Each structure stands twice: as C-alpha cells, then as structure tokens.
Structure 1
Amino acid sequence: MSATKGCLKLNSGFVFDYENLYGAGKVSDADIEALADRIRLAHRAVEHMRATGEVRGHLSKDGAPERVLFSQLPYVVEGNLNSPASIKRLKDFGESLRYKVDSVVSFGIGGSFLGNKVFFDACAGEFWNSKSQKERNGYPKLYFNGNNIDARRTTDMIQQLRTEAQIKKVHGETTPYKVLLIVMSKSGGTLDTMSTFMVVYEALKQEPGMEVEVVAVTDPAGGDKATLLKRLADEQGWNTFSIPDGVGGRFSIFSEVGLVTAVCLGVDIDAFLAGAKDMDEVCRTPDIWQNPAMLNAVLKYLAAVNHDRDVEVFMPYADYLKSLAEWYVQLLAESLGKRYDREGGEVFYGRTPIVAVGTTDMHAQTQQHQEGKKDKVVQFVKIAEWENDPVIPDAFPSAAKLSEISGLRLSQALDVARESNAAALISENRFNATFVLPKLDAYHLGEILYLLALSIAYEGELANVDGFDQPGVEAYKRIMGPRLKALKQ
C-alpha cells in the first residue's frame, strides 16, 4: 500500500484519488483535525460492530435490538452467514442450471434487485441474453422483474419467454423450455415483487411446452416464525436460499441474496468475496490516511457539513457500472437520509445521491455540475485496464477533425474526457474524487462495493445517525396497505 496526501493506492491496485477533494480551499487539515476525536470514536464503533454486530442505538423496524452483520459476509468460515457449506451449495446450484435451464427470471426490489443487476451488468453485460448457450458457457439467460409494478413490461417479458419457447420448438428440440423463477422477499408480502411474480408464474404455468420451477429467497426461520413466503415454499416444495437477519437489503449483495444471481451467470463468487474481505482488512487500521473507507466517509462528511456539498454525483466512466451507481443511490439515501440523530434531535441529515455516467452525462448534467449551485461532490469511477480496448481507425482520412483522434484507444479518449471534466470542476473549486479499479472483474467489484458499504458505517457514526434503519420507508407502507385493501371493497 502507498499513500501520499491526495492519493491512496492499495496493494491490489485499487486507487482512491482524492486530490480534488482535500487541501487548501477544500476539506482541509484543520477540518480533519477538529473532527479527530469523533473520527477515533467512529473507528472504535465500527470495530465493535465488526466484532459483535452491535451498533449503538440500532433497533429493528419492530423496535427490538438488532445486530448488524454485513461486515461478517466476506469471511467464509464455519458458523458465519457465509460458510463453506453455504458457498458450496450456491456453486452447486449454479452448476445445476448449466445446459438444463433456458432462462432465469429474478424477482426482487431494492437490494434484492439493485445488487443483482450490478452482477448482471458488470459480469455478463447488456448482450448476454443474445448470446448462444455455448457462448454463455451453458448458463441460462437472465431477466429481472418485480422491481416495479409495470404492467406493460411484465406482459412483454412473458411474451418474450413464450417466443423463445416457440423458437426452441421450431428448431426441433423436444425438451420443454425451462424457466426458473427466483423470488426474493424477506416476508413474502412485498407488493412489487409478489404481484408481478404471481402474474408471471400463472401465465407461464399455463403455457404448453414450458416447464416452470421456483426458488424462494426469504427469511429462513421455520415453525411458528416462518414467513408467508417460507410457508409457501415449504408447501410447494420450492428450493430456498436465505435472506439473513442482521443484513439490510442494501448490504445483501454479499449474501445469498446477491450470490444466488451471481452463480446463475457463472460469476466467480470466491473472487468477489475475496475482494470484499481484502478491503475490509485494509480498513481495520485507525490511520485515516491508510483506511480508504474511513477516509472516504470523513471527506464526504466534512464536505457536506463544513462546505455545504450535500449532493453526491456518482459518475462511473463505464456503461456497465451505471447499475453500481444506482445501487449506491439506495445505499446512501436509505442509510444516511435521517430526520433524527441518536438522541432524538432533528438533524435532517444526508447527502442527495445522483446517478451519472461518463461522457453520456458530460453532455447532459455537466452544465449543472460546472455552473450550478456549489453543493456537489462528483465521485468518478475509472477502469484502468479494459479487457478489450479498440483503436480508433482513420476511417475517413479526408475528414481532418476525425483523423485527429485516430490511433487512440477508446480508453485513452475516455480518460481524457474524465480528466478534463475533473480539471474543469476543480478550477471552479467544485469538489471531485476518483476511484480507480484496475480491471472490471469480480474481485475489484467486491472491493469497491464493500468500501462503499463500510463507508456508510463510518459516516453514520460521524453524523450520529443510525445508518442501518429506514423508518422513512415505513411511512408510505402504513398509508399504502389500507388503500390497497380499499380497492377490493
């Protein structure tokens, strides 16, 4: 690991470049020194959380004390939420789909969708479902639903699966078109997920030439404590995976909730968890300049409270990391958007997160970033080495403007765009920082996702808010339930 004030580089090659966020006119040494005692207390609290699962003042939505266990997930050991046996079962499940299941549909919302979409985009890509079975190494196509109650898209997806089943039959294959529905809900009462799941399940069950199986991902408790979905799974004989207690949905990508989708795509989940574990171990030091999660939390917290930068634009320079930005929006918004501090005082804390993507949003949002209110931190994400990196050809020599960019690799043009954006922003004292992933692979994906999750734990301590509850989400649910019942009267 190497660190200079302005840049922290881990042995893995992961880089946190915060030069445009820290220093004179930005978050200063004086800002950090004034917060020193709270930083030490925050680190001590996070270490206590790691060791015991205890977070000061944290209660479940039912008002009972609840442990916070997401930091356990990268460690695959006997007795942990991810054990050698549970990881083997996941891998065996993924292997059982190869050349046997045609399509998987993953039903979930919140963390049960957003984290799984990160795996699909980063590790499979937009055109996965257009590839042949051989090109997918025998793994099935993958679709998502249940993340919004959208009648048109749900019926369009049903028709797509019907069409694929017909094509299989036309090609002379005698085996039925096999669809696996993975339904994710801790209780089984999640409106968005369960309503669309039931629509799709009933439609496909009635389709001739189609075979449908279901896997439920839910609270594993049995007996009197069994949830609606667990009871349903037991009655129907569906295979089940667990949504563990102590792991909020926005942190669940490291658990079976996320890993069950990853293995459907052949993702190396060992490498993914290893990246998360290595990041966790790096972040055990109390030295802020060597701990990327704590440093990220401190700089963003101070940028907000001392410099009024309470909007965070998360801007990866990679199309396939847009879903990472969307996952981060939920993580930041639900965790830190809090009305009350731990003593019950009104604080209305939290940065507003915004998704932006590379050069796409340089042509859409950058006008606001560059000349709008000085209330933002722009967090860039760069990929250092691309698996494929075409050279721009001199396709039209007579067009001098186009010939000027010929000979460059696409990554070089992309880097120049990002660097120019960062330089323009800081020239107007507009804060920004960059995470650099050496490659876009499972290991480095685990690193950045875990860094962001652990940063939340640190910032919750700095802000003196509970980063692990979400009381604001319950408000609309209390209103929605009676209104749904009224519709049937």
Structure 2
Amino acid sequence: MSTQLLQTTILNEQFLKIDYSQYNSSVATIHRHLEESKDELTGWINAPLEDNQELIHSIQTIAEEIKANADLLVVIGIGGSYLGAKAIQDSLTPYFGQQTDGIEVIYAGQNMSGAYINQLLNSLAEKEVYINVISKSGSTMEPALAFRVLRQYMEKRYGEEASERIVVTTDPEIGLLREIAAFHHYRQFVIPPNIGGRYSVLTPVGLLPIAVAGVDIKELLEGAKEAAMLLKEGNLEHNEAYRYAVIRHALYTLGYKVELLASFEPALANFHDWWKQLFGESEGKDQKGLFPATVNYSTDLHAIGQFIQDGSPILFETLLHFHEIKDDYQVPYDARDEDRLNYLANRSFNKINTTSKQGTAIAHAEGGVPVIQLELAKLDAFHFGYLIYFFMKACAMSAYLIDVNPFDQPGVEAYKTKMLQLLTAEDIKK
C-alpha cells in the first residue's frame, strides 16, 4: 500500500520558505515524548495497532441487535462524546433517505434547548427506540439532563424492557454514569481511561453509533491502523502529520491567527466541527494558539469568500479534498440551451466541483492567502479513518510546538464552574 495516502502541499510556498531542518530536533523530542509518555492521555496513539477484534465483535453484535429491534438510536453526548460520531455518520452515509445498512441515528445532550428536547420527544412516538448515553463522568450538565429526560421516557414507554434498550459508554471504574448503569443493569462499553474525549472517536464512543448508522467500522479502523503505522516515524521528512503541524506553526509565528479548514463536499460539515474542537480545545491555552474556523464551499464562497480573498490578512486556508466521491451525476444536454450551460453538458458535478476547488485555491493563493492542500484518494471509511488519526497526531505535535498541553481543557472547566455557581444561586433564591 502506498505510503502517500495523504498528500500535504503548500500552494504558494514561494513566499513561505520554511526551513524544516530547524524543526528536526524539537519534532523528534516531542515525538519521543508522545510515544513514551505514560502519564498523559496518549492511549489513542497505539490503540489502532492493538488487537481489537473482540471489541469490534461486541460492538457489531449490539449494533445488529439495535438495527433489528429499533427504528432509531438516540445518542446522548456532547463535545468529544458527540462530534466524532456525528462527523463520521454524516460524511459516510447518504444525504437523503434510509441508510442502506443502518438505521436513523439522532443526537441529544449536545445543547440545553427546551424546544429541541421537546420536539425530539414528540418525534419518537411512532418509532421503536434505543438509547446510547456517552459520558466519562456522567456529571456533565447537558448530557446528564438529556439522559434524565430520556431515561424517564424509556421507562414509562417500555417498562422493565427499558434497561435492555439503554446502552452506556463510560469510565470503566468511576463516575455517576457508571453507578447508574450498574444499578439498572444497563449494558456498558468502556471509554479507555488513557484517552481523552476529543481523541476518543475511534473507541466505542464513536464506533457504536456509526456502526448502527451503517458505517463499516472495520474499514475505518484499518485506515486508522495504516495511519498509526505510517505516522509512527519521528523523522519530519517522512511524517505528513508532523509536516502539516510544522507548516501551521510556521504560519503562526509569521502572525497568522486563524486557520480556515475548507472543503467542497457538504457531507463534511460536521467533520469540520469535530476538527474545530480537536484543535481549539487542544491548542487554545495560555493566550496561545490558532483560532480554528471552517467554511463549506461552494456555499461559503458566496458568503464570506470576499473576506477570504481580500479581507484582513489574518488567516490561512487548509483545503481538504477527496479525489473520488462515491456518487455523482452528469450535467444533461439541453437542445434549447436557454441557460447557456451546454458547454458543461456531459461533465459530472464532481468534476466541476473539483475544478471549482482548483480555481478557488489558485485565486486565494494569488491573493496572498497561504493555502495548504490535504488530498486523499477517496471519501470512504478506510481513508476517513486515516484522516482522523492524521489530524489527531498533527494536533498533538502542533500543541507541543507552542508549549501547551494538548490533553487538558481548563477553560472548559471554568465555564462549568461559573454555570453551576449561577444555577445554585438561583436555587437558593427560590
């Protein structure tokens, strides 16, 4: 298999002369730390290389049970317990209609909108339902509230059978959710203690929901395994993830403050959201870090394309492109040619989309926007697994290059503390 599953290039490197040799020592040191660390949440690094056949079998067994006995699965989670599964599901399943080898998977606990939870409950009446609640602690406010509501709904609707229709993914030893699951005899999957939330998509956190949605989790994990092998090289010259991290760091030191992840396939919109959490929560500390933003082309070319092309020079663009998309459609010939589009007749939409990508990249590069291109052969489970691991490895390196810990999130804990203080104060007033 080719060692170039993902190609990283800088479109306008003529004004971005990076001396990669100056990074060799720091990259090698960080690489050794990541490979050898026993104290941090680095279990994801070698997880794809481990024997996971038993785990895959158990996930597939429950997934098949859910598909046989339910019309939909409600996944309760937030942040890393939600974004990864949703990203993969949307990227690898059809835009419209019933999934070919899966059932509908919807999400709760990622917000505290009363309208959302009320309308979700109303939508369940005519459908058979399973629930998968995902939380390491069980005490995060948003999913905990959603689980309280939906657990009561399931118990009222299914009685004693409710315990067979609720699957818990949580810490193997501690936490409120672990205690609830044990008391009610819910079936459980484990979130590995040495893997943090935003790095957990290739664990049961993401694998069960996407298996129910019809995604081939074996192929996904094979892609991640291939990445884990190819990106185990500490030499910057042979590690595309580290090369991408170094390019980001070089642009950061030149004063660019925003990285704009862009793609031309609308199915990737939720993958963008996963990427934003991964990099934003890993790097944004100690008044440091690039701000991760995203755009979906060609829609956003007609929304903020003007700013990207000619606005403040604060951003660089990372353009994600898959050369082959499973489905396509050919532009038909029209004898009257009233819309003057016959020059595109018999060309495919995907081919036109690729040309649009090329034109956009050239225009932005010529306009002075640094453009990084990340290219993969095909949008499928294997290459998507590769891409997910690629970004996680690059993110860890990127954070350490600016001397921050990629695996904590003190700012998130600060908001939770303040929210709890305000809610407690309101309760006292009552």
TM > 0.5 between the two? Answer: yes
Q: How does 1:73-112 map to 2 (within 5 A)?
A: 73-77=47-51, 83-112=52-81
Q: Distance in 2 between matches of 1:359 and 1:211?
A: 47
Question: In structure 2, what is the equivalent of residue 401 of structure 1?
Answer: 340
SS in 2 for 1:374: coil
The partner residue of 1:182 within 110, 116, 132 is 132
Q: Which moved more, 1:103-112 or 1:376-385?
A: 376-385
Question: Which structure would you say has the larger RCO, counting Cα contacts within 8 Å and 6 or more residues apart?
Answer: 2
Structure 1 counterpart SS, 2:168: strand
Matches of 1:159 and 1:209, distance apart in 2: 19
| Contact 1:93–1:263 under 8 Å retained in 2 | no
Answer whether contact 2:88 2:271 (CA < 8 A) is retained.
Answer: no
Q: Distance in 1 between matches of 2:158 and 2:235?
A: 63
Q: Aligned-pair RMSD on alpha carbons? A: 2.1
Tell me the CA shift for residue 480 of structure 1: 1.4
Name the structure 2 match of 1:435. 374
Given the superposition, is the C-alpha separation of residues 188 and 262 from structure 1 closer, same or farther in structure 2, using an over 3 Å criterion?
same
Query: Number of residue pairs matched?
Result: 426
1:87 shift after superposition: 2.1
2:250 counterpart of 1:336: no
Question: Alpha-carbon deviations, 1:181-225, whole Å to 9, x = none?
Answer: 11111111111001122223323443489964211111111xxxx
Partner residue, 2:268: 321
Which among 210, 213, 217 is matched to residue 269 of structure 1?
A: 217
Task: Note closer, same or farther for the CA distance 1:476–1:19 as it changes in structure 2 (3 Å cut).
Answer: closer
Q: Report the counterpart of residue 449 of structure 1 in structure 2.
A: 388
Q: CA deviation at 1:429?
A: 2.2
- Describe the shift of the 1:416–1:210 C-alpha distance in structure 2 as closer, same or farther (beyond 3 A): farther
Q: CA deviation at 1:311?
A: 0.6
Partners in 1 of 2:339 and 2:78 — Cα distance?
Answer: 49
Q: Pick closer, same or farther for the CA change 1:259–1:156 going to 2, 3 Å.
A: same
**Residue matched to 2:170:** 218
CA distance, structure 2, for counterparts of residue 36 and residue 120 of structure 1: 37
CA distance in 2, matches of 1:288, 1:201: 49
Matched, 1:154 2:123: no
The separation in 2 between residues aligned to 1:283 and 1:414, in whole angstroms, is 30
**Corresponding residue for 1:35?**
23
The worse-fitting range, judged by mean Cα deviation, of 399-408 and 191-200 is: 399-408
Distance in 2 of aligned mates of 1:451 and 1:208: 43
Distance 1:43 1:220 in 2: 29
Amino acid at match of 1:214: I
In structure 2, the gaps of 5 or more residues are none
Structure 1, unpaired ranges of 5+: 1-9, 55-64, 78-82, 166-177, 340-347
Change (3 A) 1:184 1:400: closer
Q: With structure 2 as the length reference, what TM-score do the two structures score?
A: 0.93
Residue of structure 2 in register with 1:19 after alignment: 10
Tell me the distance in 2 between the aligned counterparts of 1:471 and 1:116. Answer: 24
One-letter code aligned to 2:112: I
CA distance in 1, matches of 2:158, 2:31: 59
CA contact (8 A) 2:172 2:193 kept: no
- 1:115 aligned partner, one-letter code: G
Residue 18 of structure 2 contacts residue 247 of structure 2 at CA under 8 Å; is this kept in 1?
no
Is 2:108 aligned against 1:145? yes
Q: Deviations along 1:262-319, whole A, 9 cap, x unmatched? A: 22123221211111111121112233232110000000111111x2122111112111
Tell whether 2:59 aligns with 1:53.
no
Give distance in 1, aligned partners of 2:340 and 2:306.
24
Q: Give the partner amino acid of 1:228.
A: L
- Shift of the alpha carbon at 1:230? 0.8
2:5 alignment partner AA: F
With over 3 angstroms needed to count, the CA separation of the structure-2 counterparts of 1:112 and 1:125, relative to structure 1, is farther
Secondary structure at 2:188's aligned position in 1? strand
- Deviation of 1:250 after TM superposition, in Å, equals 0.6
Alpha carbons of structure 1 residues 326 and 484: separation in structure 2 relative to 1, 3 Å: same
| Whole-angstrom distance in 2 between the partners of 1:408 and 1:204 | 51
When normalised by structure 1's length, the TM-score is: 0.83
> Larger deviation: 419-428 or 403-412?
403-412
Structure 2 CA distance, aligned partners of 1:210 and 1:432? 57
Pick closer, same or farther for the CA change 1:210–1:196 going to 2, 3 Å. same
Structure 2: distance between partners of 1:439 and 1:122:
12
% identical aligned pairs: 26
Shifted more, 84-93 versus 360-369: the winner is: 84-93
Pick from 380, 385, 395 the counterpart of residue 324 of structure 2: 385
Aligned position for 1:425:
364
Take 1:190 and 1:466, find their aligned partners in 2: how far apart are those partners? 22
Query: In 1, distance between residues paired with 2:290 and 2:416?
Result: 23
Structure 2 residue aligned with 1:232: 180
Q: Distance in 1 between matches of 2:24 and 2:3?
A: 28
Aligned to 2:229: 281
Alpha-carbon shift at residue 323 of structure 1 (Å): 1.0
